[in-house]
């Protein structure tokens, strides 16, 4: 059956049944996943998206300046919250519908590229893929970006037979929309432009109009965002300003290719965000616009790559290995732990990359003779993979290629089936050997990869700690450390739980273990300083604070920790000096100004206190509303006592 024919009624029933199956599987998973503590209380990126969406629903400004992250998914989520309220189950049900749409688009692409039966199997592979089901239940970008990418690819593949300006414009608009969810798809656009010209050869002019229409469609979607960033955000940013930071995360001497932390910054979404800006501004010696922060980190990443090309090449190959290994690297959460811990359904579904990866590579080889016609399919798969490997690898960044792997896998399976029926044993044997070799390679996980349940258990402990249940939290952290004793952050959080439960001696030991693994860590040191001050062990407190300041001289928290020691000693001049040093680096820091104001007020210097409290009140990043109110009250008290 040719790809332009309409489906017969029986075929529509089959496809509709698979799409319905995709929706029902996702719905069942959602009902199970409600048992997860993070279903209604997300953290990290899901929380960032939720906070942004809530601001949109309430008609409020979420973040000043240009967009840091592409805005389409928060707009989508914010619209749902505005019309359907604060509950998070219904938005996820809508996302289950997007998963069903992903299944439909996978069928359409496979049918357009190959034939009906290939489309049916590809759709079935996507409908039952546990990784895609998991991400359709998360408040993350892939649930929206994947069906848009597939829709754009389906429209683009039509251009192989009908390269009209109208069709190209429709594809361009959809690619532009996809870029508002995940801008890295723009890297594919120059190749599509060239492909349209190549397909029209030798009459290049006939291909130029569709190519221009494609480009115009893309620009029509993204330029309004660029204008918004420039006019409202006050900075020239194409879509979002995070590219440079992400490039540095994945290309620096300390990068492991997966962990999304800027070296030298604190864990935590907002902590890392503000610290990365502070580091860039300190290095440049001035305040930076978001685009300049991005340029700074882009420059550092390029310096790393050009400064040691062999190390950079080795690191790129390492990330390529991570991309193709049969393990889901968590970014916000341990994907496999949460998927299987809270869902019986997902445990019984087929493997994901372990099944699709080898078959997709075989399918790619088998369709090589149609490379020109199928260019959008294989080239987008390749470009998208390289765009992820260029930055850093994690499961949710890899998820968008899974439907395309399903298409190629389905084609490979039916090609093998046809060869068996034709008794072509030589190519069948060669294919079997290649599949076996690829499967074994993907199953070989790096020895330094943590495949234990440590991160998942730690995450459950964090939730218990946030719910003010320190003893339950400590139990999870201890289970975490039982399977991975070197997980330093679990030692830190175990100490926090023990301290909250009143077990101060145990808490100190946990902090000490964390500092043995990660000497001078900013947050652990700060916690240790507070604990030692509470126990009146000022000698140890000062030693820890000094070590932290030596390692973290760019961060205000290190100066704050040392100032707390000097305040505990009632060494006011030393406290003023250390706070002054910190304020030279971070003049608007809330806590440094607040502590300086408190010192001046306590030492009968209300006019100096007015200045310090005034800077604290004006700080753009107060730690909490309660502290901000305390600063307001202290500022008024100092102002009333000030007699110039």
pLDDT at 610 over 90: no
What are 197's two structure tokens?
């010209």
**Contact (Cβ atoms closer than 8 angstroms) between residue 316 and residue 591:** no
Cα pseudo-dihedral 612, 615, 620, 621, rounded to 10: 0
Angle of CA points 358, 359, 361, to nearest 5°: 65
What's CA 146's distance to the chain center, in Å?
Answer: 15
Q: Is the peptide bond before 385 cis (omega within 30 degrees of 0)?
A: no
Mean pLDDT of 139-156: 97
Kindly report, as residue ranges, where domains of CATH 1.25.40.10 are found in the chain: 457-641
pLDDT tens for 546-578 read: 998 888 887 888 898 999 999 999 999 998 999
> Which CATH number does 457-641 carry?
1.25.40.10
**Contact (Cβ atoms closer than 8 angstroms) between residue 511 and residue 528:** yes
Radius of gyration of the chain (CA): 28
**Contact (Cβ atoms closer than 8 angstroms) between residue 79 and residue 71:** no
What are 576's two structure tokens?
């003023």
How much of the chain exceeds pLDDT 70, in percent?
99
Closest CA to 68 of 276, 287, 282, 319: 276
Q: What are phi and psi of 129, to 5 degrees?
A: -75, 120
Q: Which residues contact 641 (CB under 8 A, 6 or more apart)?
A: 601, 606
pLDDT at 627 over 80: yes
pLDDT tens for 169-224 read: 999 999 999 999 999 999 999 999 999 998 887 777 777 899 999 999 999 999 99
Cα separations (Å) of 70 from 46, 143, 145, 180, 182? 14, 14, 11, 5, 6
pLDDT at 640 over 90: no
DSSP conformational letter for 6 = P
Mind giving me the DSSP string for 456-505?
HHHHHHHHHHHTT-HHHHHHHHHHHHHH-TT-HHHHHHHHHHHHHTT-HH
Mean pLDDT of 236-261: 92
What are 203's two structure tokens?
């009459």
Closest CA to 463 of 449, 447, 451, 480: 480
Average pLDDT of the chain is: 91
pLDDT at 115 over 50: yes
């Amino acid at each position: 059956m040719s790809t332009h024919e309409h489906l017969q009624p029986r075929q529509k029933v089959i496809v509709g049944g698979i799409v319905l199956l995709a929706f029902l599987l996702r719905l069942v998973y959602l009902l199970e996943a409600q048992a997860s503590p993070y279903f209604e209380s997300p953290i990290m990126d899901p929380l960032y998206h939720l906070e942004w969406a809530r601001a949109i629903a309430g008609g409020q400004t979420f973040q000043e300046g240009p967009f840091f992250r592409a805005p389409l998914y928060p707009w989508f989520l914010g619209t749902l919250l505005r019309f359907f309220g604060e509950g998070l189950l219904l938005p996820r049900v809508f996302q289950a519908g997007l998963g069903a749409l992903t299944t439909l688009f996978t069928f359409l692409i496979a049918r357009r590229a190959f034939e009906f039966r290939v489309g049916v199997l590809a759709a079935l592979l996507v409908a039952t893929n546990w990784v895609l089901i998991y991400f359709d239940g998360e408040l993350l970008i892939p649930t929206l970006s994947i069906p848009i990418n597939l829709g754009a690819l389906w429209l683009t593949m039509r251009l192989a037979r009908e390269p009209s300006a109208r069709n190209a414009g429709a594809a361009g608009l959809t690619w532009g929309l996809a870029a508002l969810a995940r801008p890295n798809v723009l890297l594919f656009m120059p190749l599509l432009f060239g492909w349209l010209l190549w397909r029209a050869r030798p009459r290049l002019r006939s291909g130029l109009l569709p190519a221009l229409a494609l480009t115009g469609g893309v620009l029509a979607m993204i330029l309004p965002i660029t204008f918004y960033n420039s006019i409202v955000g006050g900075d020239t940013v194409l879509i979002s300003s995070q590219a440079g930071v992400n490039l540095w995360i994945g290309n620096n001497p300390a990068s492991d290719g997966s962990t999304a932390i800027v070296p030298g910054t604190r864990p935590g979404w907002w902590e890392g965000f503000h610290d990365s800006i502070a580091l860039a501004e300190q290095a440049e010696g001035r305040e930076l616009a978001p685009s300049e922060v991005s340029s700074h980190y882009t420059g550092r990443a390029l310096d790393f790559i050009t400064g040691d090309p062999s190390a950079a090449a080795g690191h790129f190959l390492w990330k390529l290995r991570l991309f193709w290994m049969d393990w889901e690297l968590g970014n916000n959460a341990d994907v496999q732990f949460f998927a299987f811990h809270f869902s019986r359904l997902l445990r019984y579904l087929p493997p994901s990359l372990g099944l699709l990866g080898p078959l997709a590579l075989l399918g790619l080889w088998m369709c090589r003779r149609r490379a020109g016609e199928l260019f959008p399919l294989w080239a987008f798969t390749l470009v998208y993979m390289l765009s992820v490997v260029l930055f850093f690898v994690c499961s949710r960044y890899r998820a968008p290629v899974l439907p395309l792997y399903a298409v190629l896998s389905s084609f490979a399976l039916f090609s093998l089936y046809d060869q068996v029926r034709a008794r072509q044993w030589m190519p069948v044997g060669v294919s079997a050997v290649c599949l076996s070799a690829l499967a074994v390679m993907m199953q070989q996980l790096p020895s330094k990869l943590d495949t234990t349940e440590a991160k998942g258990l730690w995450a459950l402990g964090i939730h218990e700690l946030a719910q003010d249940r320190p003893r339950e939290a400590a139990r999870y952290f201890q289970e975490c450390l039982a399977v991975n004793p070197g997980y330093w952050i679990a030692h830190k959080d175990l100490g926090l739980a023990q301290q909250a439960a009143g077990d101060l001696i145990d808490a100190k030991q946990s902090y000490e273990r964390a500092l043995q693994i990660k000497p001078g860590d900013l947050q652990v040191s700060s916690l240790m300083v507070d604990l030692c001050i509470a126990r009146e062990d000022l000698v140890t407190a000062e030693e820890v604070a000094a070590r932290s300041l030596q390692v973290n001289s760019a961060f205000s928290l290190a100066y704050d920790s040392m100032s707390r020691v000097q305040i505990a000693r009632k060494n006011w001049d030393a406290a003023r000096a250390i706070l002054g040093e910190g304020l030279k680096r971070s003049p608007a820091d809330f806590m440094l100004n607040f502590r300086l104001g408190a010192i001046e007020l306590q030492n009968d210097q209300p006019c100096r206190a007015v200045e310090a409290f005034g800077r604290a009140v004006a700080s753009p990043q107060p730690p909490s509303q309660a502290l901000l109110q305390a600063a307001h009250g202290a500022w008024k008290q100092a102002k009333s006592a000030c007699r110039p």
